Every structure is written in structure tokens, then in C-alpha cells.
Amino acid sequence: MSKRIVVKIGSSSLTSSQGGLNREAVAYFAGELASLYKLGYQPLLVTSGAVAAGFRAIGYSERPKKLYEKQASAAVGQALLMQAYQEALADYGHVAAQILLTRTDFHSRQRIGNAVMTVEELLARGILPIFNENDTVSVDELKFGDNDTLSALVANLVKAERLIILTDMDGLYSADPRNDPNAFKYETIDEISDEIYRMAGGSGSSVGTGGMRSKLDAARIATRGGVPVFIGRASEAGDLTAAASGGGRGTLFTTRVASMPVKKQWLGYLSRPLGALIVDAGAKRALAEEGRSLLPVGITAVEGQFHEGDVVEVRGPEGDIVGRGVVNYDMEDLQRVCGIPGPRVLEVLKDLHRLEAIHRDEWISLG
């Protein structure tokens, strides 16, 4: 199997500061992606830029702020963006395929499973999948972390060798190097701690929506799924291949875990919890540290509206997120037996299929 590399390119790298596509930038990235093919890599692209590419063409003088204006700009800009990629890649003999996704697509295991099968077929035929959020129908104010989160989800789903998130900074610094001459760059980060998060600032560009913090969120998702992440800059020939092979101008986020099964990825990062279970300290320890199932006796409170087979979030006694799991009870039944030992649960619910509120095989820790 070819080495899969997911590359994410943000709006600021593809458009001018005033908006509109920068054709020279698109041509540069097409050349870099073609170089990855020559070295035996199997690239996948996650691109932003539809709104930024379209708002000038539609007649707006500046990037729009209202949702319907953004969606109209995206409708025009997405076509311009894909046309630019197709023309630039054709110079190297490559063909691109467009895959538009929304958050709700990731809530369904069947829909995301179908998307994965489509991607596998495209890759088998040597086609470059290009992912973007379907901004024209998004109802979440188009804030998918400037596609940073999307790139991490894609990288985990295809079991990529590396995720490369390109930005206008050459990595993560201890402070903003544009303002602090004493700021130093991190070459490698093994754990994304609270201290690392404190160093992340806001959005660095007037045409993009994502800042370094959203990139750290993406890096955390990808590395927990077993995919190392490079965050940095690519502006000269060979920068992208260097980032793919362990070099490059940026920061590498390492991972110690193996690739996460698709079911666990969906459960932890793609599903939509329909309720929450509050557990005591013993149940939290059993789930997070001992790899055990959650029993009703360890549950202190039940929130939300859910049915057997739905995904719920589990929180500790202090309100901290412990993880997610597929619940084996309807909400009303679980409310009747939470805090009750096993034998009494069977007395209260005589037609119970299984005692565990969440089985360990249907659980993922997120704390």
C-alpha cells in the first residue's frame, strides 16, 4: 500500500489578502502534490478557501459576515477552487475528485462508511480526493476549525502515515514571533498539554477562520488516532515532501498509540452524544484506568433524551469529560436503576438484555 499523506491547506495559503484565488499558489501546491506522487506517496487534500475565493467574484467588497452571504460566496468559490485545482493538477497528469462533507455526515456510521469506500476507490484508481466542508448547506456558521478538524478526521479514517497542516507560520512558537523577539519554536511536541494550548493565539489572517488553537485541536484528534501531525509552512519547492519525510519548516507532533479502529474513531470524534451520564469516582476510575464496563451502580445522574443504542457522554463527579459510549438502556430505564447494585437492577428491570450501562467494547476514553 502506498504511504498515505493528508495535506490540509488553509484559505490564507490559497488566496490574496483581499480575497480571490491566488493561481500561482494553487499551481505551487499542485506541483508539491505531484512530487509526493513521484516519491510513492498517496496524497489526500483537505482544502479551505471556497468563501475567500468566491466573495469577490460574487460582488462583495470584503469577506461577508452573514451566513447566507458566506454560503452564496462558497457556492461560487467552490467551483472556482476545484477548477483551479483540476487545471493545475492536469499539468502533472493527475485528476482530482471533490468530496464535500458536513458535520452531520460524520454523525452517521453508515454515511461516513460510504464516504470511506468512495475514497478507497478513488485512491485505488490514482485520483486525488479533495475534501472541503459543504459550506453552502452548513448551519454551523461555517466554523469547522477552518477545516483543521476535518483534516484530522480524514487522516484517522484513511489511516494516514502523517497529517500535514499548512499555515502561514513555520511551526508553534512559545509566543507570537511577530511581536516577541525572544519567542522560540518547538521542533517536536510529544504531548499537547495545557501549557502548549496557552501558547496558541487567535486567527492569523483576515481571509481564514482558523488559528493555531484549532490546529492544536486537530493535532490532538489525529495523534490520539495514531497519526503524527506536522504543522508548518510550505512555500518553496520541496517543502511539502520534506514535511512528509520528517523534515520541513514546522513543528512535528508525535504519537505513541497505534492506529485507532474506525468504530472507535466514530465513537470518540464523529458521533453526536444525545445525553450524558454522571458517574462517581469509582466508576470513572474503572472506565478510564482499568478498562472495565460501566454499571448502573456507578451512575449518579442521567441527562438528556436517549434510547438504547444511542451515544452518550460520560462525565466525572467534577463535570469533567471521561469519554463516550453506546448506552444499553433507554433514558427512563436508566434513571430508575442508576446507583443500584446489579442484583437489584435485575429485579427492577426484569426484561433487561444486559447489565452493563456501557460495555467496554463500545467505549472510548477522552479525558
Q: What is the mean pLDDT of residues 236-251?
A: 94
For the segment(s) 3-263, the CATH number from 3.40.1160.10, 3.40.190.290, 3.40.190.10, 3.40.50.10890 is: 3.40.1160.10
CA proximity to 132, closest of 22, 209, 46, 55: 46
- Residues comprising the chain, all counted: 367
Q: Annotated binding site for substrate, which residues?
A: 48, 135, 147
CATH number for domain 273-365, candidates 3.40.50.300, 2.60.40.10, 2.30.130.10, 3.30.1360.30: 2.30.130.10
Round to whole Å and give the CA distance between 226 and 108.
22
Identify the pLDDT of residue 356: 94
- pLDDT tens digits, 142-176: 455 568 989 998 998 899 999 999 998 899 998 88
- Mark the binding-site residues, compressed into ranges: 8, 48, 135, 147, 167-168, 209-215
What residues does each domain of the chain span? 3-263, 273-365
The beta-carbon contacts of 231-234 under 8 Å, at least 24 apart in sequence, are 231/165, 231/167, 231/171, 231/172, 232/164, 232/165, 232/166, 232/167, 232/169, 232/170, 232/171, 233/166, 233/167, 233/168, 233/169, 233/170, 233/171, 234/13, 234/29, 234/32, 234/164, 234/166
- Measure the CA–CA gap between 12 and 209, rounded to whole angstroms: 9
d(CA 46, CA 293): 37
In the block, cell 499548512 appears at: 166
pTM over 0.85? The answer is: no
Q: What is the DSSP-derived secondary structure letter of residue 270?
A: I
* Annotated binding residues for ATP: 8, 167-168, 209-215
Q: In DSSP terms, which residues pair with 203 in a beta bridge?
A: 211
- Indicate whether 205 pLDDT > 60: no
Give the model's confidence band at 219: pLDDT under 50 very low, under 70 low, under 90 confident, else very high: very high
Chain segment 39-89, per-residue pLDDT in tens? 999 999 999 889 888 998 899 988 888 888 988 999 999 999 999 999 999
